[in-house]
Amino acid sequence: MAGKIRKISAWGVKLLTLCMLAVLLAILSAVLFGTPMSVSAAQEPEFRLDMDSLNLQKGVSGSLVVSLINAKDAQIIDIEGLDNFDQLSQSQRTSTSIINGVTSYREDISYIIMPKAVGQFTLKANIQYNGKNYETNTLQVNVREISNTTNGDEPAQDLFIKTVVSNPEAYLGEKIVVAYELYTRYNIENYGFTDPVTIDGVITKELPDDQLKAEYVYIDGNRYAMYEVRKLIIDPIKSGVCVIPSFNFQVNVMTSSSGFFSSSTPMYLLTEEKELTVKSLPSEGKPKNFSGIVGELKLDGRYSREELNYGDSLVLYITASGNCNLDGLKNIIGVMPGFSVYETQKNMAESVINNQYNTQKDFEVILVPEKTGNLSVPLVSISYFNPGAGKYEEAKIQGTTISVLGDMPQPNNYSVGAQTGAIETVNVKQVNYTAGRNDDYFNIKKATVYFVLIVFAFIVSAVVFIWLILSRKKQDHTLDDLYKRLMKSEYINEIYDLFNEMIKYCYKVSLKANSQNTIMNALPDANLAEKVADIMSFMESPGAREDKGYAELKERIKTIYPKKSFVARLSL
């Protein structure tokens, strides 16, 4: 009985092996020979349109995917309704799968889009495949205003960016802070602006990254990480409405992390557009000695000593500070009766405290008494315009009395009448070295030489004078001043703003407010137009935001200025 069982088991193993070989051969045959016929015969093309969310916010991106299934080489003609969105990026992925011997082909075209306006929009893709036109399904997308904080029952989003302006209204000459703050509940890998952050009508200074902070904050009871991604100090150059435009911002959100490898998904945000009203200074109450300072000003003064010997000096230490614009404050004390004055500027610092501009300048004034006795140092005052009070005020340093000790040296006066001794008179006879010569001939030649020298000097002076007059007419210090400020700056936005001012001054065209075609036509020289276009392209490239991007921008500007073609307008 046991032998029969072993014999049956051996036949069973052989039968099972044959069955497995048959199945393997069938699968191999289907793969090698049957698959192309089954795809062409059984698989129908399919076209789909999908989004990660049908409820979007203005200024927040979403993902749109067009799927082409079993339709290799199909073409997307257009996507109806996509003109209501900004297309930020596009990617493509293909895949092939085999199920039950049937091969399926799939191609996904993904778009990152951002709504341009609030409202309800319809999206549908039109496809062309094998000479026929197809349509995808239709999507209804609802777009509402962005919600950064609690608004009724609507909570804040998990990722958003805010534009914070220190003052919605300012006076001409007042410095304003514009800060961009990123709030997130996600783990993020990195972030950055995808657009050049430029604002027309202002001089811009960007704070260095080491002055930007990051901290945790709570909104609606939820903890967010807040990053200051950029801070600008802007100085409007004209009155009126200054528009701070919206800019595209990219955040790479971490999706997974394992060991040394991690993956992230880009998300796009749009910063808020802001309007800044810039007002002119009032003429009422404006003092004749107005310093031009706008903002609250504080003066602190300290004398090194109030008693000294004649011939020594004392120092008046002055600190000017506040939320005011001190760029034009070069000196504080001009002439002080009874003293020789030597004034120097020591330090200047700018900072942003609670999103408010603040600055400080230090001066040292060396005072040298010109006489002995008790000398009065008068009151020191600087007029300024206080935007908070809306009127002109004065910052003051109280005067004092300086005691100068010692005796002044007496002058060494010499009087002939004071001499008691007799004065001996010595007569010196003139020696004539021209004896025996023709005096008339000598005098004529000498006069001729003098005459020639005088005429020559007059001609040279006239030529130099005329050259100076003509040169002065051709000089234009505005360009030189802008170029010097440009070369001193290490902030790429400020450099580009100053270069834009130079172009506008010479050719009456703005690099920011006009199309590239308009700008190229406004420039009279083809070589200049090519170099300006190169600079504009560089500002839009990722390399402009690198650590040394500002240095590269300067080098490109150096190839243009100073050039005769750049300043040709000034010589007309």
The tally of domains found in the chain comes to 4
- Inside any domain, residue 212: yes
User: What three-state secondary structure class fits 21?
Assistant: helix
Each residue's pLDDT tens digit, 28-58: 555 554 444 443 444 789 999 998 888 888 7
Compute the distance between CA of residue 269 and CA of residue 57 in angstroms, rounded to an integer.
Answer: 10
How far is residue 121 CA from its own chain's centroid? Answer: 36
- Inside any domain, residue 272: yes
Instruction: State the virtual CA torsion across 285, 291, 293, 294 in degrees, nearest 10.
Output: 10
**Which of 243-247, 514-518, 551-555 tops mean pLDDT?**
243-247
Cβ contact 553:538 at 8 Å: yes
Q: Partners of 188 in the beta sheet?
A: 253
What are phi and psi for residue 182, nearest 5 degrees?
-100, 130
Q: Is the domain of 239 the same as that of 180?
A: yes
Cβ contact 231:179 at 8 Å: yes
Which of 217, 218, 233 is CA-nearest to residue 353?
Answer: 233
Question: For the residues 281-305, what does the mean pLDDT come to?
Answer: 92
Tokens matching residue 264: 């992230």
Residue 16's H or E segment, with its range, is helix 2-29
Compute the distance between CA of residue 173 and CA of residue 323 in angstroms, rounded to an integer.
Answer: 12
- Inside any domain, residue 11: no
- Inside any domain, residue 259: yes
Q: Is the domain of 212 the same as that of 316?
A: no
Query: Domain end: 247, 279, 311, which one?
Result: 279
Contact residues for 34 (Cβ-Cβ < 8 A; gap 6+)? 101
Tokens matching residue 151: 């608004």
Each residue's pLDDT tens digit, 164-223: 999 999 999 999 999 999 999 888 888 999 889 999 999 999 999 888 999 999 888 888
How far is residue 132 CA from its own chain's centroid? Answer: 51
Compute the distance between CA of residue 495 and CA of residue 485 in angstroms, rounded to an integer.
Answer: 8
- Inside any domain, residue 199: yes
pLDDT above 80 (res 272): yes
Q: Is the domain of 490 the same as that of 567?
A: yes
Q: Is the domain of 120 the same as that of 219?
A: no
Tokens matching residue 186: 């996600």
How far is residue 348 CA from its own chain's centroid? Answer: 21
Amino acid identity at 331: N
pLDDT above 60 (res 13): no
- Inside any domain, residue 419: no
Boundaries of domain holding 311: 293-405
- Inside any domain, residue 534: yes
Distances (CA, A) of 231 to 165, 243, 492: 10, 17, 13
Q: How many CB atoms lie within 10 A of CB 46?
A: 14
Q: Is the domain of 169 the same as that of 275?
A: yes
Output the pLDDT for position 522.
Answer: 82
**Which of 228-237, 482-491, 543-552 tops mean pLDDT?**
228-237
Q: Partners of 300 in the beta sheet?
A: 319
Q: Is the bond preceding residue 562 a cis peptide, omega within 30 degrees?
A: yes
Q: CATH number of the domain at 358, please.
A: 2.60.40
Output the pLDDT for position 320.
Answer: 94
Which of 286, 288, 402 is CA-nearest to residue 336?
Answer: 402
Q: Is the domain of 304 the same as that of 275?
A: no
- Inside any domain, residue 340: yes
Give 292's DSSP letter.
-
Each residue's pLDDT tens digit, 410-469: 665 544 444 444 444 444 444 444 444 444 444 455 667 677 788 888 888 888 777 776
pLDDT above 80 (res 251): yes
The dihedral region occupied by 206, where left means phi > 0, alpha psi between -120 and 50, and beta the remainder, is beta
Amino acid identity at 363: F
Token pair 């996600």 in the structure block, residue: 186
Which of 216, 164, 209 is CA-nearest to residue 191?
Answer: 209
- What's the per-residue H, E or C state across 339-397? EEEEEEEEEEEEEEECCEEEEEEEEEEEEEECCCEEEEECCEEEEEEECCCCEEEEEEE
Which of 244, 313, 317 is CA-nearest to residue 277?
Answer: 244
Angle between helices 477-488 and 549-558 in degrees, nearest 10: 150
Q: Is the domain of 140 the same as that of 163?
A: no
Output the pLDDT for position 175.
Answer: 93
What pTM does this model have? 0.54
Q: Is the domain of 169 the same as that of 131?
A: no
Compute the distance between CA of residue 3 and CA of residue 169 in angstroms, rounded to an integer.
Answer: 105
Give 273's DSSP letter.
P
Query: Domain end: 144, 171, 191, which one?
Result: 144
Q: Compute the mean pLDDT over every residue in the chain, rounded to the nearest whole number.
A: 80
What are phi and psi for residue 29, nearest 5 degrees?
-65, -40
Which of 157, 122, 118, 116 is CA-nearest to residue 51?
Answer: 122
Query: Domain end: 405, 422, 451, which one?
Result: 405
Output the pLDDT for position 39.
Answer: 39
Cβ contact 235:357 at 8 Å: no
- What's the per-residue H, E or C state across 82-146? HHHEEEEEEEEEEEEEEECCEEEEEEEEEEEEEECCCEEEEEEEEEEECCEEEECCCEEEEEECC
